[in-house]
């Protein structure tokens, strides 16, 4: 029996079990979302893209599009490695029950790589590598590693959710975690005043420190529930056989299989749009650095509200309907962003992106849990991570290829690349409507 489940016996007059959110295991679990969102916002969305745009895109309009290509391909490379390993991570969860054990190690590697990114960017080493300055090449390589280990840790983090909640509180705890996570964006942006103009790489080392500090509560105040199983001593790579068997078993779990496909397309569009948001806003819509920081703050507020609100929507309307609503919001954001000719249009798109980003995991991970059998849940989380991370390769790769091929045409390149995500979102919505879903009994 899990030792970290909070007792949901005290409620406010509105029926919200507030003490659940602030029990030590739940709050420590949520603070890890706070910590990894600092890395995600600072490194994936803001300062690493700013650094690339500064290092590559400042020379001409065509090179601005090429900066987008480098960013897209770096994200695709990190996603590629996750595709290779994420199914194995799910198998390890089911075999050993270890989650925190892996989170600690993967977080440590992420922190080290981010620290080294700051050191390499400041070193300004002489020479070139693969046609780019050595320092820049090293920073890009370290970013790929850092993002891979950061993303890997989230598989184990998400799988901890049932251990810190009950079936009745699961959607609310999920929403609370994401909401606390996006507050981490505000903490991450405290490094901005210390950057000093255009030296965006100065944000890398402080970001690594913040990630490490706010990860500590999960390390100390949550517990693993290790399993003793006969197969726990098998070689890690023997897990591929189990993954193949799980794929074969998917015919017995058709709703989960269809949702995995739908999630592939929806996550493709959302993850790629967020990753390319900074460069698109600056080079296409004409945002300054400070304007984009403010836009990101606004979208973060929208993310906080969306993540918390969609926990209740998933509870009241069912997780499937909640996912549909998130996909429709994303579709609207993409249409506005592609057609944006004025900055106010991108302000609207950015706010909608924020709502969708905050709500997507609240709704989707709840639906995953409701569609999958408990004994195979770790494997299914691995498979859904596999689906999502395949999309994190394909989406940026398509985006980067379009900007590379159409770079001589200027803004058209980025608009066409972003427009490809509209097709992805529509495809995801169509498949998602085919998911057969029976909501669980009403959660009191």
Query: Cα dihedral sign for 217, 219, 221, 223?
Result: positive
The tokens for 370 are 């409701």
> pLDDT tens digits, residue range 175-202?
788 778 778 888 888 888 878 667 889 9
Query: Which range (18-22, 355-359, 378-382, 396-400) has the least confidence?
Result: 18-22
Q: Are 79 and 275 in contact, with CB atoms under 8 Å apart?
A: no
Instruction: Tell me the CA distances in angstroms from 264 to 273, 383, 428, one per residue in order.
Output: 14, 11, 7
DSSP 236: G
Name which residue leads in pLDDT, 12 or 205. Answer: 205
Task: Write down how long the chain is.
Answer: 444
3-state secondary structure of 68: helix
Helix/strand/coil percent split, the chain, to 5: 80, 0, 15
- 215 has a pLDDT exceeding 70: yes
> pLDDT tens digits, residue range 124-172?
777 777 667 888 999 999 999 999 999 999 888 888 888 777 677 777 7
Q: How confident is the model at residue 230 (pLDDT cuts 50, 70, 90)?
A: very low
Cα 102–103–107 angle (5° rounding)?
120
Q: Are 363 and 327 in contact, with CB atoms under 8 Å apart?
A: no
> pLDDT tens digits, residue range 411-424?
888 899 999 999 99
- Candidates 217, 153, 212, 225; CA nearest to 25 is 217
CATH homologous superfamily for the domain 19-227+240-432: MFS general substrate transporter like domains (1.20.1250.20)
What is d(CA 278, CA 177) in angstroms, rounded to the nearest whole number? 25
């Amino acid at each position: 029996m899990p030792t970290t489940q909070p007792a949901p016996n005290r409620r406010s007059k509105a029926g919200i079990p507030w003490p659940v959110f602030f029990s030590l295991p739940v709050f420590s679990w949520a603070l890890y979302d706070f910590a990894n969102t600092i890395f995600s916002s600072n490194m994936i969305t803001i300062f690493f893209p700013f650094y690339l745009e500064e290092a590559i895109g400042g020379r001409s309009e065509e090179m601005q599009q090429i900066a987008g290509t480098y960013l897209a391909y770096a994200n695709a490379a990190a996603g590629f490695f996750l595709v290779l390993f994420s199914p194995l991570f799910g198998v390890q969860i089911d075999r050993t029950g270890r989650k925190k054990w892996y989170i600690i190690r993967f977080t440590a590697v992420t922190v080290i790589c981010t620290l080294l990114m700051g050191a390499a960017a400041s070193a300004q080493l002489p020479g070139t590598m693969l046609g780019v300055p050595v320092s820049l090449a090293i920073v890009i390589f370290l970013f790929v590693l850092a993002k891979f280990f950061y993303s890997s840790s989230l598989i184990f983090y998400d799988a901890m959710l049932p251990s810190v909640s009950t079936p009745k509180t699961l959607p609310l705890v999920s929403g609370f975690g994401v909401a606390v996570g996006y507050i981490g964006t505000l903490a991450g942006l405290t490094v901005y005043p210390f950057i000093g103009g255009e030296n965006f790489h100065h944000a890398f080392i402080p970001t690594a420190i913040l990630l490490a500090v706010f990860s500590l509560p999960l390390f100390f105040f949550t517990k693993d529930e290790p399993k003793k199983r006969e197969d726990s001593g098998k070689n890690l790579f023997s897990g591929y056989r189990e993954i193949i068997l799980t794929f074969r078993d998917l015919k017995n779990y058709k709703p989960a299989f269809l949702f995995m496909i739908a999630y592939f397309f929806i996550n493709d569009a959302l993850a790629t749009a967020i990753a390319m948001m900074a460069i698109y806003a600056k080079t296409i819509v004409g945002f300054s650095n400070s304007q984009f920081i403010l836009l990101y703050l606004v979208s973060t507020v929208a993310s906080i509200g969306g993540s918390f609100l969609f926990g209740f929507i998933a509870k009241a309307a069912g997780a499937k309907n909640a996912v549909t609503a998130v996909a429709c919001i994303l579709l609207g954001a993409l249409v506005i962003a592609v057609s944006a000719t004025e900055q106010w249009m991108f302000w609207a798109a950015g706010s909608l992106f924020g709502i969708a980003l905050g709500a997507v995991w609240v709704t989707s991970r709840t639906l995953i849990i409701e569609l999958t059998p408990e004994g195979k849940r770790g494997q299914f989380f691995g498979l859904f991570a596999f689906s999502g991370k395949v999309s994190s390769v394909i989406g940026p790769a398509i985006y980067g290829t379009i900007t590379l091929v159409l770079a001589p045409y200027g803004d058209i390149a980025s608009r066409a690349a972003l427009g490809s995500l509209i097709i992805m979102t529509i495809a995801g919505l169509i498949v998602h409507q085919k998911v057969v879903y029976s909501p669980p009994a009403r959660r009191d």
